[in-house]
Amino acid sequence: MNRKGHQMSFEAVVAKARSEGRTLLSEVEAKDVLREAGVPVTKTTLATSADEAVSQAEAAGYPVVLKVVSPDISHKSDAGGVKLNLKSADDVRSAYTAIIESCQKHVPGAKIVGVAVQHMAPQGTEVIVGMTTDPQFGPVMMFGLGGIMVEVLKDVSFRLVPLEAKDARQMIGEIKGKPILDGVRGQPAADTSALEDALLKVSAFVESHPDVAELDLNPMFAYPDGAIAVDARILIRES
């Protein structure tokens, strides 16, 4: 959405980013274009003042999450740029200030556009859906479990774009952590068909938009019924 709440097309988002010398789309931009492509993402709006953040939090419904929006900060938590579980207007006001102060301290000179406001999604099983461009093979989809599973254990599966339904099913089936998705120790099973659908939608999106160089939904929460991405990062090619 732009400031007036109108949805921008992918082409318009890319043109705006390039005109500002950016290859990184903001979380708000990335989620807007992904939602348009049928990928489930948390509805996320851009606030440029604490007052705006409060009114957007009220529209999103408490609890909310606030995150820094800056072309110079791609790992938002590392810079103190993410505040979770905010339950009131007061929480939102103090989080807004804390985020800006912390990010200015961690990344001196960073351009801070504002703060992204979204509803806090209930905890689910964290997975990662991603796309990277291989110099030889072109766009490659990646799937894995979130957090420590991907960072430490590199438990991920890959397939070339475009994916067919069978590929998406296999990508989910072949990770070592698959029993976690099937439900362990009384945990319910995750909705793997929702994850397959997300993989297929992202594959179709990058196939039809060759300007996308990298894409990450990190994390996407998988539930017994459905799945939703709470973070989205899209890197475009230089024109």
Nearer to ligand ADP, 128 or 161 (CB): 128
Nearer to ligand ADP, 77 or 208 (CB): 77
**Contact status: 203 vs ligand ADP (CB under 6 A):** no
Distance CA 155, CA 34 (A): 25
Structure token digits, residue 39: 């990928």
Q: What is the largest CA-CA distance in the chain?
A: 51
Nearer to Mg ion, 54 or 80 (CB): 80
**Contact status: 219 vs ligand ADP (CB under 6 A):** yes
Contact in structure between 110 and 104 (CB atoms under 8 Å): yes
Find the part of the chain contacting ligand ADP (CB under 6 A) among 54-62, 118-126, 131-139, 155-163. 118-126
State CA 207 to chain mean position distance: 19
Site string for ligand ADP, 150-179 (x = CB under 6 A): ------------------------------
| Least gap, CB of 135 to Mg ion (angstroms) | 25
Show the beta-strand stretches assigned E in 135-184: 138-145, 156-160
Contact in structure between 65 and 110 (CB atoms under 8 Å): no
Distance CA 239, CA 1 (A): 23
Q: Which residue among 218, 222, 235, 236 contacts Mg ion (CB under 5 A)?
A: 218
Give the C-alpha distances (Å, rounded to integers) separating 49 from 46, 91, 93.
9, 14, 9
Structure token digits, residue 180: 């976690």
**Contact status: 42 vs Mg ion (CB under 5 A):** no
Q: Which residue among 56, 118, 125, 133 contacts ligand ADP (CB under 6 A)?
A: 118
Site string for ligand ADP, 34-53 (x = CB under 6 A): --------x-----------
The residues binding Mg ion (CB under 5 A) are 218, 231
